[in-house]
A and B are shown apart, each in its own frame.
Chain A
Amino acid sequence: MTFDEYLATRVSALLRFATVVACDPHLAEDVVQDVLVRAHGRWSRIAAMEQPEAYLKRMVVNECLRSRRRTRRTVLLAHDSLDAASPRLLDHAGAYGERDDLARRIAALPPKQRAVVALRYYDGRTDAEIAEYLGCREGTVRAHASRALATLRAALSPSTVHGRS
């Protein structure tokens, strides 16, 4: 796959992934552009990898975490913005409020905890894979996940936490 082919077919997915990790569309846009600029210079090596997209996502995660550290930005998705992103009428009333609160709690998580949540739930990565992404031990990943879930469970109804539909 050439760089241009990647842009044409996969950049949308990369932007969505970055937005989930950053919980900030503006930061996500900056990060993805930075990552693609860097990737462009060594695309032949990236394209030859077994999983080029996984490599780019790892760059996105690391860049998001670096950007957070550098700018100390605390970004919470605005309630109005969340409303605009998901048509209320298409949602079940009860689940809507829960998901809305949950999204804001995810946005408020510490960056590494949020990255773990994004990689585990949105990207479907195992703890071992997440550990590789973040350059830490699996135990550290599980600790981040545990703390994150403890925070998020406060936004979930008992039936949701216990897996009942």
Chain B
Amino acid sequence: MNEHDAILAALERIATQAPPPDRVVANLSARIRAHRQRRALLTLGGAAAVGVPAFIVLRPDQAGPGPGPAPASAGPDPSPRPGNTWAPMLFRPTWLPDGVTEVSRVGHKGDEPGQSRIWADDIYRRWAETFKDETLRESRFVGVDVKRAAELATRGPVSPPVDVLGGEPNTTVGDHPAYVTDPDDDLAEVTWLVDNLLIKVTVSPAAGGYDAALRVARSVVPDRTSRVEVGFSLRWLPARFGRTGWRVTSSVTATKWSQQLVSLHDDFMVVGLHSPGFFPTSDTNPDDTQITVRGRQGTLSDGVLLVELADGSWLRVGAGNRTEAVRIANDLIIGQPAYRGWVGTR
């Protein structure tokens, strides 16, 4: 046996451990469907993290604009309102494809910088209410996500930053090497690094795909005036959450809205305020535990507490156990309506 044959024999042996094809094929249909939803959900930032649609029914005065020319940027956000929780936005594009306006913001509160913003069209907004795959493919949306490049924090910048970008740099954004995904892919993605922050621009095929993604990416600038705000704040938390950071999310469609705080570290926790109608009473499970929270009747199921507030909005708390969920909900401060003047602007 020569060297070539010996290596081939060893590789053949490794190949015998391949998983059974029947199992792979059997799982494929579900994966195809899940993949499409996941790709879209990933662009929803915090919404995906909690595993539930982040969109709920908007009151008419809260809805974004209908079809027609999108208004220009609303300008700098006003100061956060008392009793609310907020996080800064980090970057924004100065060029966007036609037909998209901002529908979702996610920021990080704490020491871990991060951002996820989405500009989308009406098709996307309708899709976000139904999550039917076929409509998503036709929709226009742009995402601008930012996160700390963790690997660089410990070993310093490298060039080219292949490990972090996800591929060999094949383009540039400003002076930065960047990686743009295969234009045949469903979504075009451009990733690059700025001061140890990984920026990713995602553009749907209907919004221009590869070309638009590069143009959006090259228009991205620091954003020092925008925020994401939720209309509540937490007054009590279990001790283990004392040092955690939070993902602050605010998302809307043409008819729905949702605001949430999601823990970034430690145990998982999500606290959300959702518009009326988001949790239809017809969905109530008779097996859920009935519980009184904030003087109102709510339900508790699998550690998730849900209660309809006096104004018809819903408070949802997912915590480690019943005792914690109830105390968090009871002690939580409902602030003022969170600023959403950015909705429907570019």
Q: Which residues of A contact B (CB under 8 A)?
A: 7, 11-12, 15-20, 23, 25-26, 28-29, 32-34, 36-38, 40-42, 45, 62, 66, 69-70, 77, 81-82, 85-86, 95, 98-99, 102-103, 106-107, 117-118, 121-122, 135-136, 149, 152-153, 156, 160-161, 163-165
Neighbouring B residues of A11 by C-beta, 8 Å: 21, 24-25
Q: Are B4 and A121 in contact (CB under 8 A)?
A: yes
A36: chain B residues at CB < 8 Å are: 24, 28, 31
Contact A7 B28 (CB under 8 A): yes
Expressed in whole angstroms, the minimum distance between the Cβ of B154 and any Cβ of chain A is 12
Which residue of the partner chain A has the closest CB to B35?
Answer: A37
Which stretch from B12-20, B43-51, B283-291 is at the chain A interface? B12-20
Does B52 touch A at the CB level, under 8 Å? no
A37-B35, A38-B185, A42-B184 given as contacts; is B25 within 8 A of A7 (CB)? yes
Interface string of B1-13 (1 = CB under 8 A from A): 1111011111111
A-B contact count (CB 8 A): 125
Main secondary structure of the interface of B (DSSP, over half): helix
* A103:B14 contact, CB within 8 angstroms: yes
Could you tell me if A25 and B18 are in contact, using CB atoms closer than 8 angstroms? yes
Q: Which of B88-96, B161-169, B247-255 contacts A (4 or more CB under 8 A)?
A: B161-169
- 23 A/B residue pairs, CB under 8 Å, sorted by A: A7-B28, A12-B21, A16-B15, A19-B18, A19-B19, A20-B14, A25-B17, A25-B19, A33-B28, A36-B31, A38-B35, A38-B185, A38-B186, A40-B32, A45-B184, A69-B163, A77-B14, A85-B17, A99-B13, A102-B10, A103-B10, A136-B168, A160-B6
Contact of B10 with A106 in the complex, beta carbons under 8 Å: yes
- CB neighbours (8 Å) of A95 from chain B are 1, 6, 9
A64 to chain B, nearest CB (A): 13
Beta-carbon contact of A69 and B18 below 8 Å: no
In Å, the complex CA distance between A36 and B30 comes to: 12
Q: How far is the CB of A44 from chain B (nearest CB, A)?
A: 12
Q: A121-B7, A165-B2 are in contact. List 7 more A-B contacts (CB 8 A).
A: A20-B14, A25-B18, A29-B23, A82-B13, A102-B10, A122-B12, A135-B167
- How many chain B residues touch A (CB < 8 A): the figure is 35
**Contacts from B to A (Cβ < 8 Å):** 1-4, 6-19, 21, 23-25, 27-28, 31-32, 35, 162-163, 166-168, 184-186
Are A165 and B1 neighbours in the complex by a CB distance under 8 Å?
A: yes
When C-beta atoms are compared, the residue in chain B nearest to A95 turns out to be: B1
The residues of B that contact A23 with a CB separation of less than 8 Å are 14
Contact in complex: B8, A15 (CB < 8 Å): no
| A24 nearest CB across to chain B (Å) | 9
CB distance from B99 to the nearest CB of A (A): 23
Q: Is B31 a contact partner of A86 (Cβ separation < 8 A)?
A: no
Given contacts A69-B162, A69-B163, A106-B10, contact A29 B24 (CB under 8 A): yes
Query: From residue B67, how far is it (CB to closest CB) to chain A in Å?
Result: 28
* Chain A residues in 8 Å Cβ range of B14: 19-20, 23, 77, 85, 103, 106-107
A15 touches B7 (CB 8 A): no
Among B8, B10, B13, the one with the most A-chain Cβ atoms within 10 Å of its Cβ is B10
Would A163 and B15 be within 8 Å (CB), given that A37-B32, A135-B168 are in contact? Answer: no
In contact, A163 and B3 (Cβ under 8 angstroms): yes
A123: nearest chain-B partner, CB-CB: B11
B323 smallest CB distance to A (angstroms): 36
Flag if A122 contacts B8 (CB, 8 Å): yes
Chain A residues within an 8 Å CB radius of B167: 62, 66, 135
A121 to B6, CA, bound (A): 10
What chain A residues lie within 8 Å of B1 (beta carbons)?
Answer: 95, 160, 165
